[in-house]
A = this chain, B = another copy of it.
């Protein structure tokens, strides 16, 4: 394709040394006015762009960060990602994205990219660290939306326990007594937290925690369907369910309808995340709104700050959430 011009071409054209060209571009005020003009003109004439690979090599920093996401097709993660990308661009960083949905251990190849200095750090939107992360090599990593159960790594997320608890309390306040829970993969700290919040609400209300009303799904519509099927098989049927994300809520409602039960008339459901399909579903889904974009933005800000200062910001920030009551929940009818 088109031949690129290098700093040497510019220098030659402007009649100065390459050092002067470099200076003019990075610290214009240290070169003489007249020289600057000449260089700028040459830059324009040649269409010169500093080769960013060369700059990075010289400076020993890639100025890019990897974002590892469990499934970019999940509207929750894609919004977190957008926040991360925006923050990166604002700081002149580019983002390399790794989608873990086809094979979770793709993460390992992205860790290799930071080993190979192609990226400076990782923003982790999945709970499980890549398998090769701990053979004695450390680098900046911050969690976004997920977090480190050992608390060793910086993270930005939400208070999952509290959010799940309030979602469940909403159902309890509506008069429901037999409330099921369909969780995401319990390997994830966030999912364990949501489950804990659900159980806590039950306990505080003096309600029993029934194992047969607790199903481990995996955040997909399908697992929402399977989950509702399972909890409905309990001898003493539930009248409501708290699902750990909106997609599972959709699956649950859908399957309920297939079985002839209408939401919310016959059964109440509350979801989690408030993805944009939640409000548009029929019925519109009561759910927990989480500041996805902001989570991504702050996580990226955090890692870039760390990269710049070389100081480890061992911080854990939790952003606020909000229960959004819509149509999928209603008072338990006295029957």
Residues of A that sit less than 8 Å from B by CB? 1-2, 4, 47, 49-54, 56-57, 62, 64, 72-73, 75, 78-79, 81-82, 85-86, 89, 94-99, 101-102, 106, 109, 112-113, 115-118, 135-140, 221, 250-251, 253-254, 257, 276-277, 280-282, 310
Give the complex CA separation of A137 and B3 in angstroms. Answer: 9
Known contacts A53-B62, A54-B57, A56-B53: A2-B138 contact under CB 8 Å: yes
Give the complex CA separation of A140 and B2 in angstroms. Answer: 10
- A113:B94 contact, CB within 8 angstroms: yes
Give the complex CA separation of A113 and B88 in angstroms. Answer: 14
A8 to chain B minimum Cβ distance, whole angstroms, is 15
Which B residues touch A51, using CB under 8 A? 57, 116-117
Give the complex CA separation of A135 and B97 in angstroms. Answer: 29
- Give the contacting residue for A116; candidates B52, B79, B97, B99; CB below 8 A: B52
- B280:A221 contact, CB within 8 angstroms: yes
- B99:A140 contact, CB within 8 angstroms: no
Give the complex CA separation of A237 and B136 in angstroms. Answer: 69
Which B residues touch A56, using CB under 8 A? 53
A135 to chain B minimum Cβ distance, whole angstroms, is 7
- B94:A82 contact, CB within 8 angstroms: no
- A47:B135 contact, CB within 8 angstroms: yes
Give the complex CA separation of A310 and B94 in angstroms. Answer: 26
Which B residues touch A89, using CB under 8 A? 106, 109
Which B residues touch A79, using CB under 8 A? 73
Which B residues touch A136, using CB under 8 A? 2, 47
Which B residues touch A54, using CB under 8 A? 57
